[in-house]
Structure 1
Amino acid sequence: MRLVLASNNAKKLGELGSLFGGLPVALVTQGSLGIAEAEEPHGTFVENALAKARHAAQAAGGPAIADDSGLCVEALGGAPGVISAHYAPVELPSWLPRESHRERQDAANNALLLQRLAGQPDRRARFVCTLVALRHAQDPEPLIAFGRWEGEILQQPAGEGGFGYDPLLFIPSLGKAVAQLDAAVKNAHSHRALAARQMAAMLREAWHLG
């Protein structure tokens, strides 16, 4: 079965591809099929993931899967939440390479988060991932999987790996910030890995795959 991933992120494709490795599915990005990215106007991860999956399924004419993920901080009422990737308002020149654009946005996001948590004793936070799979655009029975990776926001960044808020989220059970973990450990414990394992089990059961 071809399963269209409602993303053009090569890293995300690789992660999900390895986690779905035991299933008879060929995971392809929507970009490889010429499908544009969907709007994400909603206030919750599940609504945005569902919108993206429907968009991809409609355009591809078949099964699709989408995720929406981000950081939720307890003391900020769940913020930055669905706007995690663009938490800080940043004016970036259009000519800037994509990687440099992301690095500057990440740095601004992290700085704003630390500013808003200054003096706050409650540093509890979690990475959240919601995965939604549809057999077709009008599927009345979407499969929905959740992954939550609990941690605490550090006072300052630590580690050189990862991206986004990885240098700020400390995982007590592992004794390190996410940015200090090697890729294998991160991919085994992350919010996306937890959601993907749950989704794989549902695909086997509900869609009779594997």
Structure 2
Amino acid sequence: MTRRLGSGSLVIATHNTGKLKEISALLAPHGLKCLSAGSLGLPEPAETGTSFVENALIKARASTEASGLPALADDSGLSVDALDGRPGVYTADWAERQWFEGEPGRDWFMAMGKVEGMLQAKGPNVARDGAFHCVLAIAWPDGETAVYEGVARGRLTWPPRGELGFGYDPVFIAEGMDRTYAEIEPEEKHRISHRADAFAKLVAEQFGTGG
């Protein structure tokens, strides 16, 4: 039987307020108080893994070791079929400004533009299929871990549309939809997203009645 989370505090291993808000909303029905690593002043570990699973575990373990509380980390990203799965684990890195691109920080419009530029370079008939991936990793202070993986297939559009969401949401349209992630209300996104898929698996195992 997989170990289960009890009630109480859970560190969400992120400094991203948008991601904290989304994860907190998904966990709200289960009585957990979510604290962000950022609000606790925890350092951000170097994400040296070559897969979403490796990076999620790095972040979860760092937060649980620093806080003494159970920690949940999310590593998620966009993979574009025509780009051989890129940006993949480097999804956030593509948004990092280089020294000649202005003040340090992440520029998601720039990142979306990089993806679009690479697609357009492949010609007008390039396939625009892709997927958002999400891995959720839970780590406990004693070293035990659990991992859950989710995926949402879809296609890329241009130009970006919508003011909701974050990251690459304005250019991603999920299968069966005609609006981008950034054009739908958070509650609707929570039901269909890659993170929702991973959370459904986490909730079934962590809070369900099965063994």
Offset, 1:55: 0.5
Q: Paired residue for 1:9?
A: 16
Over 3 Å counting, the alpha-carbon distance change for 1:3 and 1:88 in structure 2 is closer
Q: Paired residue for 2:154?
A: 151
Q: Paired residue for 2:92?
A: 85
Amino acid at match of 1:175: D
Amino acid at match of 1:117: L
Residue among 67, 88, 91 paired with 1:60: 67
1:90 and 1:60 map into 2 onto residues whose CA distance is 30
- Asked whether the equivalents of residues 60 and 138 of structure 2 are also in contact (C-alpha less than 8 Å), the reply is yes
Over 3 Å counting, the alpha-carbon distance change for 1:176 and 1:108 in structure 2 is same
Q: Work out whether 1:203 is the aligned partner of 2:203.
A: no
2:50 and 2:35 map into 1 onto residues whose CA distance is 27
Q: Work out whether 1:130 is the aligned partner of 2:135.
A: yes
**Secondary structure at the residue paired with 2:136?**
strand
Q: Work out whether 1:169 is the aligned partner of 2:172.
A: yes
**Secondary structure at the residue paired with 1:117?**
helix
2:109 and 2:72 map into 1 onto residues whose CA distance is 29
Offset, 1:32: 2.5
Q: Please give the per-residue CA displacement for 1:83-105, whole angstroms capped at 9, x wherever unaligned.
A: 112216633444x7xxxx54xx2
Q: Work out whether 1:72 is the aligned partner of 2:74.
A: no
**Kindly, what percent of the aligned residue pairs are identical?**
34
Over 3 Å counting, the alpha-carbon distance change for 1:16 and 1:155 in structure 2 is closer
Residues 86-101 of structure 1: pairs in structure 2 closer than 5 A: 86-87=93-94, 90-91=97-98, 92-94=101-103, 101=105
Structure 2 gap segments, 5+ residues each: 1-7
Offset, 1:154: 1.8
Residues 15-34 of structure 1: pairs in structure 2 closer than 5 A: 15-34=22-41
Offset, 1:25: 2.3
Amino acid at match of 2:110: A
Q: Paired residue for 1:116?
A: 118
Over 3 Å counting, the alpha-carbon distance change for 1:64 and 1:122 in structure 2 is same
- Asked whether the equivalents of residues 77 and 91 of structure 2 are also in contact (C-alpha less than 8 Å), the reply is yes
Residue among 19, 26, 35 paired with 2:42: 35
RMSD between superposed Cα atoms in Å: 2.3
Structure 1 gap segments, 5+ residues each: none
- Asked whether the equivalents of residues 170 and 183 of structure 2 are also in contact (C-alpha less than 8 Å), the reply is yes
TM-score (norm 1): 0.84
- Asked whether the equivalents of residues 54 and 137 of structure 1 are also in contact (C-alpha less than 8 Å), the reply is no
Count of paired positions: 199
